[in-house]
Amino acid sequence: MGQHDNGPLGAGSNPDPVRAEDPGEDPELAALALKILVAGGFGVGKTTLVGAVSEIRPLRTEELLSEAGELVDDTGGVDQKTTTTVAMDFGRITIRSGLSLYLFGTPGQDRFWFLWDELSQGALGAVVLADTRRLEDCFPAVDYFEHRRIPFVVAVNCFTDARRYGAHDVSRALDLDQGTPVVLCDARDKDSGKEVLIRLVEYAGRVHTARLLDSVEPQADSV
């Protein structure tokens, strides 16, 4: 497990999928909606990813960067950035018939950490976006999800002017737990973002299934 100094710790939480049911619909055929977080450092592309994949007009809570914010927001490497998320981004994407994902983009700055505990409640898993030019910026998100035991994938947003690294190199640099997926993506591209989300759902499904089996095996042995 990666050990870094940034980011708050919290108690673990279980995913709480929401079933969107029509009053006249067979409950067994009702659509399943899963909550996914999109996290990462300041200016890494979280708002861009949510907007690119969302099939609805995304909800955004962006404000213009101010002179006061220059004292606390490191814009090195993202000099062209003029706005920042101050609460969350929200979008929705249908992965297949009967399965939708509700996407919650988290703010990247330390001063908005207090929002993370609320946003993470009931989440199936998370996407941690990373920028190889500022890889250390995603350490707090990695630590946060590891300590809360929320499954996550690291998605490297391949900026055109950034040096390319392989998934294995990024995994070693972040000191990720063995098996934590690392994928390369373009946050601006809908298909690329969708592939990241599919990879997360598959991985999180395996993790939660394994935990469920581990929790019932001792009971079965005692019978």
Q: pLDDT grade, residue 72 (50/70/90)? A: very low
d(CA 126, CA 84): 20
Per-residue pLDDT at 64: 45
Residues 6+ apart with CB under 8 A from 81: 43, 65, 75
Kindly state the average pLDDT of the residues 10-30: 49
Average pLDDT, the chain: 80
Q: pLDDT grade, residue 174 (50/70/90)? A: very high
Per-residue pLDDT at 58: 85
Q: pLDDT grade, residue 43 (50/70/90)? A: confident
With a cut of 80, say whether residue 188 has pLDDT above it: yes
Burial label for 180, CB within 10 Å (0-12, 13-18, 19+), is: buried
d(CA 49, CA 189): 8
Report helix, strand or coil for 204.
helix
With a cut of 80, say whether residue 119 has pLDDT above it: yes
Per-residue pLDDT at 4: 53
With a cut of 50, say whether residue 137 has pLDDT above it: yes
Q: pLDDT grade, residue 63 (50/70/90)? A: very low
